[in-house]
Structure 1
Amino acid sequence: MHVQLRSYGLLYVAGLCVSWILIRAAAKKYNVMTANDVDNLMFWMSVGCVLGGRIGYVLFYGIALGTSPIEDLFRFNRGGMSFFGGLIAVTLTMYIFAWKTKKNLLSLTDLVAGSAPAGLFLGRIGNYFNREIFGPPTSLPWAITDPSDGIARHPTQLYEALLEGIVLLVILYPILWLRPPAAKPGLVSGLFLVLYSFFRALMELLRDDSWITGVPFSISQVLCIPVAVVGLYLIFRTTRLID
């Protein structure tokens, strides 16, 4: 157990570092921010990601599912992080940073959205090493044995690593790299929110860790709806379909 937790933590940190490098490269290419500005932003976003992820997990999942009381908010040793909680905290951090430095908020969110899939990929690999979020039983040749019950199951962690990590990165980072963030800022952010929501909602069909008994959808799928709506708004806005 100690090795698994250490591997998860190392991969989580590695994911932040890789995203950091990608953001720095794109920011330097288009002179959006200095290296020092990127470092400051990434530091506070990392803090926000961890705190927001934990608080979001307890509020969105723990309390709703009855598995974590409100007192568990800052008990990080008990595990549990929420992408959606982290997303809210990171967005708030970027808003404050943009306001203080007088930079375009959507240009900043595009930098982060185009680079974040690298971190998501390593985070899901961390889930795999931590032996969590397995899918339903399957006889497919790539099935992974769940150590908690010895049953061969879908490696949902690896599916999500592929879709939320590699596929998103291959789609978004070239767009970020080939077009200045000042040109129609918000497009990369919108695409990230829509595509992530779609992939996550799809993968939830193979997960059972956030479903409420008697309800035909999971908490995560519900949370995907407003995220996708915001993403669609940004896409339509940048393509001048709406003001």
Structure 2
Amino acid sequence: MPLAVLPFPRIDPVLVSIGPFAIRWYALAYIVGILLGWLYARALIRSARPWGGRAPLDVLDFDDFVVWVTVGIILGGRVGYVLFYNFEHFLADPLEIVKLWKGGMSFHGGFLGCVAAVVLFARSRGLSILTIGDLTCAVAPIGIFLGRLANFINGELWGRPADVPWAMVFPGAGPWPRHPSQLYEAGLEGLLLLAILAIAVRAGALKRPGLVIGLFACVYAVARSFCEFFREPDPQLGFLWGGLTMGMVLSVPLFLAGLGFVAAALSRPPLRPARAESP
């Protein structure tokens, strides 16, 4: 155990409370993440540079899509958590499924929810599924970053016992100093992934539909698997085969799917969108 540990900043998980209603940091992270992602996507659509001309969709199309993807994130994230992480608990008490304020969301489930929203929306509008997916993945790390910060504020999903100088004692996690793994995930799954995708977009990745999706899946899977070495497994699951965690196991098919998207995107010639119209 280190001689000294960093104090855990005890921030109230409830940001604002008005009577029986409360706004929590976790809910705020979702709201702000979706809002900032929406604004970033609108900026990409309006710019001719990432597409080499006019974007293959309008900002109004993406405005409508935000509602679809929000529902996909929430439903997919919750259903994923129920199925992947705590099925027996929710099977015994199904009413607990709708109590989102108690926490319990799965990234991999939320990702599948986003996929469903992308496919259904694109087909309903006659738009490219891959293009909508690319835009969604390009902005998604913003929400991931804010969500992991909210996990840290809530003092949940803490790391394994550690003797590093920045270890913290988390409330409810016993007396042992632990890795602040939520911050590791915020940095790698959020900021680093956002920077990599932004560089890819600037280099012309949006001209190859599906490439940003593939890069997102591959980089996230690697970052998440790395962070799992420092994150304490969910107590109801513990370690799986050979010391693997559920986060690692779910990241394997995500990584393989990402490789498939990258290979397919690079095998096709880049799009030649229509030139932006002159005023």
| Structures share fold, TM-score greater than 0.5 | yes
> For the residues of structure 1 that align with 2:30 and 2:114, how far apart are their CA atoms?
16
Q: Indicate the SS of the match to 2:241.
A: coil
Q: Is the 8 A contact 1:144 1:154 kept in 2?
A: yes
Quote the residue 1:38 is aligned against.
62
> For the residues of structure 1 that align with 2:81 and 2:63, how far apart are their CA atoms?
27
- Inter-CA distance 227–84: structure 2 relative to 1 (3 Å threshold): same
Match among 38, 42, 48 for residue 24 of structure 1: 42
Q: Residue type matched to 1:7 in 2? A: W
Quote the residue 1:169 is aligned against.
194
Task: Structure 1 unaligned segments of length 5 or more: list them.
Answer: none
Quote the residue 1:146 is aligned against.
170
Answer with 1 or 2: which has the greater Rg: 2
Match among 208, 219, 233 for residue 232 of structure 2: 208
> For the residues of structure 1 that align with 2:239 and 2:254, how far apart are their CA atoms?
24
Equivalent pairs counted in the alignment come to: 238
Matched, 1:179 2:188: no
Matched, 1:111 2:138: no
Instruction: Considering fraction of residues, name the structure with more helix.
Output: 1
Q: Indicate the SS of the match to 2:65.
A: helix
More relative contact order, 1 or 2 (CA 8 Å, 6+ apart) = 2
Q: Is the 8 A contact 2:108 2:250 kept in 1?
A: yes
Quote the residue 1:158 is aligned against.
183
> For the residues of structure 1 that align with 2:195 and 2:176, how far apart are their CA atoms?
33
- Inter-CA distance 15–62: structure 2 relative to 1 (3 Å threshold): same
- Inter-CA distance 192–151: structure 2 relative to 1 (3 Å threshold): same
Alignment of 1:1-243 (within 5 A): 3-5=12-14, 6-30=24-48, 31-63=55-87, 66-69=88-91, 71=94, 72-148=96-172, 149-179=174-204, 181=206, 183-210=207-234, 211-212=237-238, 215-216=241-242, 217-240=244-267
Q: Is the 8 A contact 2:205 2:211 kept in 1?
A: no
Task: Structure 2 unaligned segments of length 5 or more: list them.
Answer: 1-9, 15-23, 49-54, 269-279
The percentage of aligned residue pairs carrying the same residue is: 34
> For the residues of structure 2 that align with 1:3 and 1:171, how far apart are their CA atoms?
33
Comparing 148-157 with 229-238, greater Cα deviation is found at: 148-157
- Inter-CA distance 53–214: structure 2 relative to 1 (3 Å threshold): closer
